[in-house]
């Protein structure tokens, strides 16, 4: 299933429930950030190494998958109501970052990386 098809499914899901009234860009941005907060809670007390193994335990792996899905759902809904082409936006941003962070200067440097966005 493509991202475009999922966008349509999410729109139909919201429309069928008359939830469009709640889906202002402001509210969707809040919902997205709320889900990002739930994602943080999975990782907050883990060491970096433990965070790498987070999918080893099936129940927690499912929790992670659902949080990633929730974030993507609100991101896609927000792009939909704002009429933003998410894939094109990301493609442009990668091209921009390729110019901003030339390989020879950015290699292994968190200091540069800090300014990624």
Residue 8 has φ and ψ, to the nearest 5°, of -65, -45
Q: Tell me how far, at minimum, the Cβ of 11 lies from a second copy, in Å.
A: 11
CB of 21 to a second copy, least distance (A): 7
Cα 33 to Cα 7, 26, 38, 62: the distances in Å are: 19, 11, 9, 20
CB of 42 to a second copy, least distance (A): 7
Cβ proximity to a second copy, 1 vs 58, nearer residue: 1
- H or E element at residue 68: helix 58-82
């Amino acid at each position: 299933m493509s991202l475009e098809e999922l966008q349509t499914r999410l729109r139909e899901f919201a429309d069928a429930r008359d939830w469009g009234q709640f889906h202002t860009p402001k509210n969707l941005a809040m919902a997205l950030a709320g889900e990002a907060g739930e994602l943080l809670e999975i990782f907050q007390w883990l060491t970096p190494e433990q965070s790498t193994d987070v999918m080893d335990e099936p129940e927690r792996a499912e929790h992670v998958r659902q949080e990633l899905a929730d974030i993507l759902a609100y991101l896609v809904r927000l792009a939909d109501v704002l009429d933003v082409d998410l894939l094109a936006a990301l493609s442009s941003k990668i091209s921009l970052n390729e110019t901003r962070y030339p390989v020879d200067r950015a290699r292994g440097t968190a200091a540069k990386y800090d300014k990624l966005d």
